[in-house]
Amino acid sequence: MVRHSVFFWLNEDVSDEQRASFEGGLQALFEIDVVEKGNFGKAAATPERPVTQNSFDYSLFLEFDSVEQHNAYQVHPEHTVFVESFGSWFKEVRVYDTEMKG
């Protein structure tokens, strides 16, 4: 299994209405046929510690059965629509792909 973890920092001028649209876009990614499982959320209000990074606005987690399915997702038309629709709102994006054991 591959876990695709994406962290988004949005531009300061993104409105509440736009954030709601962005959340809808995240949710739509779960419907792509190669995605096994997905969820998203906002940074938790946990205590600040030296190892904690919670300055992001949203995180997205998608799971794929294989690297090949992950790769198919990257070029899927619906993924392209998401990037083209919301990419201008991103101040920063970080992606961590992990091949899970067990």
What integer pLDDT is reported at residue 32 of this predicted model? Answer: 98
What integer pLDDT is reported at residue 5 of this predicted model? Answer: 98
What integer pLDDT is reported at residue 43 of this predicted model? Answer: 95
Q: Per-residue pLDDT tens for 14-52?
A: 999 999 999 999 999 999 999 999 999 999 999 999 999
Segment 46-59 mean pLDDT: 94
> With the C-alpha atoms ordered 16, 6, 25, 63, is the resulting torsion angle positive or negative?
negative
What integer pLDDT is reported at residue 93 of this predicted model? Answer: 98
49 within domain boundaries: no
Domain extent for 68: 2-44+54-99
Count of domains for the chain: 1
What is the number of alpha carbons within 13 Å of residue 72 lying toward its C-beta? Answer: 13
Q: Is the pLDDT of residue 102 over 90?
A: no
Residue 94 sits in a domain whose CATH number is: 3.30.70.100
Q: How many Cβ atoms sit within 10 Å of the Cβ of residue 2?
A: 19
Q: Per-residue pLDDT tens for 68-89?
A: 999 999 999 999 999 999 999 9
Q: Is the pLDDT of residue 90 over 90?
A: yes
